[in-house]
Amino acid sequence: MRKAKILGLDCETAPNKVFVWSLWKPIIPANQIISTSRVMCWSAKWLGEKGGIMADAEWLSSQRKMLRGIWKLLNEADIVVHFNGKSFDVPKLNKDFLMHDFSPPSPFRQVDLIETAKRKFAFVSNSLKHIAQELELREQKRENEGFKLWVKCMAEPGFTLKEIRKARIDMVQYNKGDTKTLDELYWKFLPWIDRHPNVTQYMDKPEACPKCGGKKFKKDGTAYTQVYRYQRYRCESMGKSHWFSGERLVDLPKVVFKGIH
């Protein structure tokens, strides 16, 4: 049965390498750039489907082959879920796709969980790590050794081959860990996401909740706009109530205001 294909995505990128004259508020001209940032590994998961975490890295194959793998997944996805992905992951991937002369993947809708965190809640920090800790998620964001891990993965001078190999294994595991956390956070946030794409558009039998695709819903009150009113439904398919609006009911009467003279 056809349903929305929802892809959870997380990318890790190499930092820019530049020459600088100072460590204090440097203004770096483009001719001082040694190499620019690029996606060096990714992990992804089809949310709500059987199957584990998929991942690839430029050191496991090649950068082009790695990018081709995530391009195919994006090309197949109806909806892509990420954390700060609208500003980071997707534009970074698009830049690398362009650099390697890929055509754009087929259009997909995006659900950025950091937008829900900022719009709906007042966490002290909107980092994925902090939110996972606050919510006591089963899948916590993995720890790492910090910036040095990224430098080791780039095989910069000063590190042994053994250190580089271990760092690259750790990076892939760290990347997969973020996707596991993202997966759990998505289902936790889902009842609160008020701009979620309508998943029934992708279903063979669309008589379902437009947010989660569940069938356990019933009429519960009325929703109003400035002009119309709609039947409101309460869905219990996820174990927690969330609401959606259905068919339009009788229009509200129009109010005519007379001008003041």
| CA–CA gap between residue 153 and residue 159 (Å, rounded) | 10
Report pLDDT digits (tens) over 53-72.
Answer: 999 999 998 999 999 999 99
With a cut of 50, list the residues of the chain below it in pLDDT: 257, 261
- Number of domains observed in the structure of the chain: 2
Cβ pair 201, 109 in contact under 8 A: no
* Residue 207 located in a structural domain: no
Q: Give the per-residue pLDDT at 248.
A: 80
Torsion angle of C-alpha atoms 135, 140, 12, 161, degrees rounded to 10: 160
Q: Are residues 36 and 102 in the same domain?
A: yes
* Residue 184 located in a structural domain: yes
Q: Give the per-residue pLDDT at 261.
A: 45
Q: Are residues 98 and 180 in the same domain?
A: yes
Q: State the residue range of the domain holding 115.
A: 6-18+32-192
* Residue 202 located in a structural domain: no
* Residue 246 located in a structural domain: yes
pTM comes to 0.89
Q: Are residues 231 and 135 in the same domain?
A: no
CATH code assigned at 105: 3.30.420.10
Q: Are residues 221 and 178 in the same domain?
A: no
Q: Give the per-residue pLDDT at 256.
A: 53
* Residue 1 located in a structural domain: no
* Residue 208 located in a structural domain: no
